[in-house]
Amino acid sequence: MSVSATTRASRPGEIDGVHYHFISRPAFEQAVHDGRFLEWVEYSGNLYGTLRREVDDKLARGLDVILEIELQGARAIHAALPEAVTIFVAPPSLAELRARLRGRATEADDTIAARMRIAETELAAASEFDFVVVNDEAEQAATRLATIITDTRKGE
């Protein structure tokens, strides 16, 4: 997994450098200016991005790199690395996504509403991806993701 950078505040239990690289907005904007991001986007009022070094270091070691990014970021990655395999992980339904977001109890209702509007747009773009995996049961979804990665690596 590539560890994304973000300007949002860490949530309880999140560790800098493990879950995200938590950086200030000015530092993030400077990194954008310096070309240190492979992709970046503003999402729900915060900046998120994939540092080039996170990907380049792993690829140089012959590793597969998994990016957990949103639609704009996926489009940017596809443009920069057309050989990248894209997998859209979809919720079983919008209602289930809303319930999961509320269940976290980490965001206000207006933030959840904004995320739901974004999710509708993202779901409409799922056909742009090479594969779609519905995350209805975590273990089954993880197995399907692993199978896609293994099969793609083999060229199947």
Q: Where are the domains of the chain?
A: 1-64, 85-156
Nearest 10 degrees: Cα torsion 87, 79, 45, 26: 130
pLDDT of 106 reads: 81
pLDDT of 108 reads: 87
pLDDT of 113 reads: 92
For the segment 52-61, what is each residue's pLDDT rounded down to a tens digit? 998 999 999 9
User: In whole angstroms, what is the distance from residue 32 CA to residue 30 CA?
Assistant: 5
Written out in words, the top-level CATH class of the domain with range 1-64 is: alpha beta
pLDDT of 104 reads: 87
What is the chain's Cα-based Rg? 16
Q: Are 52 and 38 in contact (CB under 8 A)?
A: yes
DSSP tag of 20: B
Tens digit of each residue's pLDDT, the chain (156 residues) = 899 999 999 999 999 999 999 999 999 999 999 999 999 988 878 999 999 998 999 999 999 899 988 898 899 999 988 999 999 999 999 999 999 999 988 888 898 998 899 999 999 999 999 999 999 999 999 999 999 999 998 775
Q: Is the pTM of this model over 0.75?
A: yes
For the chain, first and last CA: distance in Å?
22
Angle between helices 94-104 and 109-124 (to 10 degrees): 150
Q: Look up the CATH number of domain 85-156.
A: 3.40.50.300
pLDDT of 156 reads: 58
